[in-house]
């Protein structure tokens, strides 16, 4: 089958969908954010605060390189900013099939309301930040993705079913 990589904006459901999908397919699940936090022994928030975003982006690229060496199929969910880095494009291509979980700005803003874990949304208006970042990132997600899944109005389980259904084709 090969690996499936879930990409999309913060709040798109990559981690939740990925975990269920992996369970259904009885394969491994890896979330690059979780992996980085585990290996660094601290929260992403702290990495951003102490070493800065550039350092975090390097850690993300390092994760992709490590994943490439892993054997066996897996579902990978990556942070919302990972596909934006050009150096990650060939790595994502080599790793497997990339699915973009696309959702509306309003839906994402609603899900991300009150979030304290994501450094890029802290301070000022989260709605404005989401709008700005979405404008920059959406074209990149669409360009990087092998498949685009419009998740608007769908439950987590429906998204999982849709991905499984598309695999059978």
3-state secondary structure (DSSP) of residue 141: helix
Site membership for ligand S3P, residue 118 (CB under 6 A): yes
Q: Measured from the CB atom, is 84 or 169 closer to ligand S3P?
A: 84
Q: Is 97 exposed, middle or buried (0-12, 13-18, 19+ CB in 10 A)?
A: middle
Tell which one of 40, 119, 129, 146 touches ligand S3P (CB under 6 A): 119
Q: Are 98 and 7 in contact (CB under 8 A)?
A: yes
- Least distance to ligand S3P, CB of residue 119, Å: 6
Q: What are phi and psi of 117, to 5 degrees?
A: -90, -20
Is 81 a binder of ligand S3P (CB under 6 A)? yes
Of 3 and 77, CB closest to ligand S3P: 77
Q: Does 35 bind ligand S3P (CB under 6 A)?
A: no
Which member of 4, 10, 145, 159 binds ligand S3P (CB under 6 A)? Answer: 10
DSSP letter for each residue of 22-62: HHHHT-EEEEHHHHHHHHHTS-HHHHHHHT-HHHHHHHHHH
Rounded to a whole number of angstroms, the minimum distance from the CB of residue 120 to ligand S3P is 5
Residues forming contacts to ligand S3P in the complex (CB under 6 A) are 10, 14-15, 33, 44, 79-81, 118-120
């Amino acid at each position: 089958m090969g690996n499936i990589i879930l990409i999309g904006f913060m709040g798109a459901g990559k981690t939740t969908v990925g975990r269920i999908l992996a369970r259904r397919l009885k394969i491994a699940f890896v979330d690059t954010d979780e992996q980085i936090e585990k290996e660094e022994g601290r929260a992403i928030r702290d990495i951003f605060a102490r070493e800065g975003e550039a350092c975090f982006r390097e850690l993300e690229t390092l994760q992709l390189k490590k994943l490439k060496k892993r054997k066996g199929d897996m579902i990978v969910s990556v942070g919302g900013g990972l596909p934006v880095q050009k150096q990650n494009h060939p790595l994502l291509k080599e790793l497997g099939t990339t699915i973009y979980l696309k959702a509306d700005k309003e839906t994402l803003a609603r899900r991300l309301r009150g979030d304290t874990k994501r450094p890029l949304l802290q301070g000022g208006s989260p709605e404005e930040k989401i709008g700005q970042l979405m404008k920059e990132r959406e074209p990149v997600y669409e360009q990087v993705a092998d498949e685009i899944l419009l998740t608007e109005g769908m439950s987590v389980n429906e998204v999982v079913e849709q991905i499984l259904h598309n695999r059978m084709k």
